[in-house]
Structure 1
């Protein structure tokens, strides 16, 4: 009986050692050169990655896309090894997620920028805002700061010095027209344009409502050298993986650049 127990214990130890060894080999082997899974948000990020996937497919790399409808789940899935990469976020948002949630993820390369615009159904110029008017901004970290900075650049308000990614309307120190700043979920902003004088709207949600930066916004971020480029993000351990470098080559190709410029008419711009 004792011999049986010892033999069983030895087998369990060997099985555990093999399992640990296999996990280690899988980790050190890096990303698969045959197929990977990339998380994207629906809309332009998805469309561009579909073009990247077409190029990769020709060389034997299959890129599976998993589409998300919010800004938090793709990073959770990447950190939990449910994805190999994601493509949808700006650097301020990424840094906030890493700092506050402890994710072991990192930016690998720049992708595209979505110049944020201010839209209105009642005025043609922000100078026409009246005393006490309502203006709306997205209420999520990074995007609210970005929207407030856009109104600041337009001369509508002034933020306190040092306002960072956690900024809200409480960080506004000058509001000459006593504007009511309404903080809303980013996806709701296009539907609220009839209720406010003006709203700063993320480009993907504006496009979903049939709005474009060049034709419909009354003020917008620069199209060239936009301060908020998006990034292709991977787990920190995979940042220098050869597959990531290969995908960067496809993403930064002339074919993808041409697709972006023709498809989005300035609402989405290449950042390389």
Structure 2
């Protein structure tokens, strides 16, 4: 009887040990299955300062299991083309008015999913030290893009160079110039090409990212509307955009959240002092 009990105990113990050994790989397998691959997201930006800032966001995104690839483009057209065609998932470079214009002209459905910044507008010159020094018949390069041109004209009005109909607005165009005392000749130039005109004009409107990429120092500008940012309407606020069908994607919303933070503001001031002003806390 005792021998029989010992035999039964030995069999049971062996079965238990074999069972435990058989379960170990199963536990390991379950652990492996709960480790998800990072969600890959591509975002397009314009200018190296923006690239640096978004690389900082990308590092933060890793902790959220998001693999955010930042792609730098060199004009204001390709980021929307790429987003529309689906080769990227998001872009962050344009303001609301530009996006609205794009959707209208291209019958597109790109949509704002979060606010980012306001970027000051700058005038640079190799010939004069201020806009008030422009001579009779001077040539001034302004943005060809309709959504940006109005802001440049308002800046010129603020500087006393011209006067616009009805006080002017960011929707003003060259046809709205009511008074041009110095008979300034305005040349419409694509923003990405404005730096190349500096030797041929008396002054040129140049965005901060294009200026720094060309080796210009922001402090050398002859005029900026940075001192008048409170007068800039909300449709000039820069945004993060996605395709409309993806606007509620929770991963994209998390990326917006990661950008809209104090440490990103600190990074902006480190990378490009005075060039970026956060607007996501505004009520506009």
Q: Report TM bin, short chain.
A: 0.7 to 0.9
For 1:59, the equivalent position in structure 2 comes to 64
- Secondary structure of the residue aligned to 2:274 is coil
How far apart in 1 are the matches of 2:130 and 2:167? 28
Can you list the C-alpha shifts for 1:202-226, whole angstroms capped at 9, x where unaligned? 111111222344x111211126547
For 1:181, the equivalent position in structure 2 comes to 186
Unaligned runs of 5+ in 2: 1-36
Matched ranges for 1:112-131 at <5 A: 112-131=117-136
For 2:176, the equivalent position in structure 1 comes to 171
Are the aligned partners of 1:106 and 1:234 in contact in 2 as well (CA < 8 Å)? yes
- Secondary structure of the residue aligned to 1:146 is helix
Return the offset for 1:159: 2.5
Return the offset for 1:142: 1.3
The number of equivalent residue pairs is 240
Tell me, yes or no, if structure 1 residue 208 matches structure 2 residue 213: yes
Are the aligned partners of 1:92 and 1:165 in contact in 2 as well (CA < 8 Å)? no
For 1:271, the equivalent position in structure 2 comes to 279
Return the offset for 1:124: 2.0
Return the offset for 1:111: 1.3
Are the aligned partners of 1:189 and 1:201 in contact in 2 as well (CA < 8 Å)? yes
Return the offset for 1:192: 2.1
How far apart in 2 are the matches of 1:88 and 1:226? 21
Which of 87, 104, 108 does residue 103 from structure 1 map onto?
Answer: 108
Are the aligned partners of 2:45 and 2:72 in contact in 1 as well (CA < 8 Å)? yes
Return the offset for 1:115: 0.6
How far apart in 1 are the matches of 2:39 and 2:254? 12
For 1:21, the equivalent position in structure 2 comes to none
How far apart in 2 are the matches of 1:160 and 1:122? 29
How far apart in 2 are the matches of 1:179 and 1:243? 49
Higher helix proportion: 2
For 2:157, the equivalent position in structure 1 comes to 152
How far apart in 2 are the matches of 1:226 and 1:211? 26
How far apart in 1 are the matches of 2:164 and 2:247? 35
TM, length-normalised to structure 1: 0.80
Structure 1 pair 105–188 and aligned structure 2 pair: CA distance change class (3 A): closer
- Secondary structure of the residue aligned to 2:199 is coil
TM, length-normalised to structure 2: 0.77
How far apart in 2 are the matches of 1:239 and 1:164? 30
Are the aligned partners of 2:111 and 2:244 in contact in 1 as well (CA < 8 Å)? yes
Return the offset for 1:95: 0.7
How far apart in 2 are the matches of 1:238 and 1:253? 23
How far apart in 2 are the matches of 1:226 and 1:187? 25
How far apart in 2 are the matches of 1:253 and 1:263? 16
How far apart in 2 are the matches of 1:33 and 1:159? 52
Structure 1 pair 112–226 and aligned structure 2 pair: CA distance change class (3 A): farther
Which of 88, 97, 101 does residue 92 from structure 1 map onto?
Answer: 97
Unaligned runs of 5+ in 1: 1-31
Structure 1 pair 196–175 and aligned structure 2 pair: CA distance change class (3 A): same
Q: Larger Rg: 1 or 2? A: 2
